[in-house]
Amino acid sequence: MIDEKDLMVGDFVCYDKANGYITKVIDIQRYGVVEIGYEYTITAIRDKRDPLYSGYEEHFNVQILNPIDITDEVLEKNGFTVDGGYCFMQLDENSYLEYYFHEHRLRKWWHGTDEWQNHSDVKDITFQCHCHYVHELQNSFRLCKVKNEIEL
């Protein structure tokens, strides 16, 4: 189950784990009163493989949603190169993203020459977080300004 505080508009989640149906969060609404507690629903479109697919936006209770695990295939579709327990993506001439499967750690690092330190070779970690699921990876991509849309 996913905590509603971890979701953002645009995140991919699974609403039927048995069949692997995936949906994209379009909107998150909160209903209820403070004393009783809030109930969260998301607005999304069903997976096209789902027999109940209608093409229209539908509402799902956050309690039925499940996270999607990060796999080699997901990372490769999004520009990473798999190298053993690591995956790498080069962002520009000096910036890289690295995902380490064993620790579920994503980090962005910069590698180049530092003009202030007599042109010495420098490797500096500029961002690091733990990502177990695709929606966490999406949020990390947004923070790193990598791209807006992830592919599944």
Extents of the domains making up the chain: 4-64, 72-144
Q: What is the pLDDT along the chain (152 residues), one digit of tens a residue?
A: 788 888 899 999 999 989 999 999 999 888 766 566 678 889 999 999 999 999 999 999 888 899 999 999 999 999 899 888 899 999 888 889 999 998 999 999 888 877 666 667 777 878 899 999 999 999 999 888 887 678 88
pTM of the model: 0.84
Q: CA separation (Å) from 123 to 26, 84, 94, 109, 126?
A: 38, 21, 9, 7, 10
Give residue for tokens 């609403």: 15
Q: What is the CATH number of domain 4-64?
A: 2.30.30.30
Q: What angle do CA 98, 104, 110 make, to 5 degrees?
A: 25
The amino acid at 84: G
User: Which residue(s) pair with 42 in the sheet?
Assistant: 28, 60
| Cβ atoms of 109 and 88 closer than 8 Å | no
Structure tokens at 33: 């009163």
- The residues facing 20 across adjacent strands are none
DSSP 136: H
Looking at residue 38, its pLDDT comes to 72
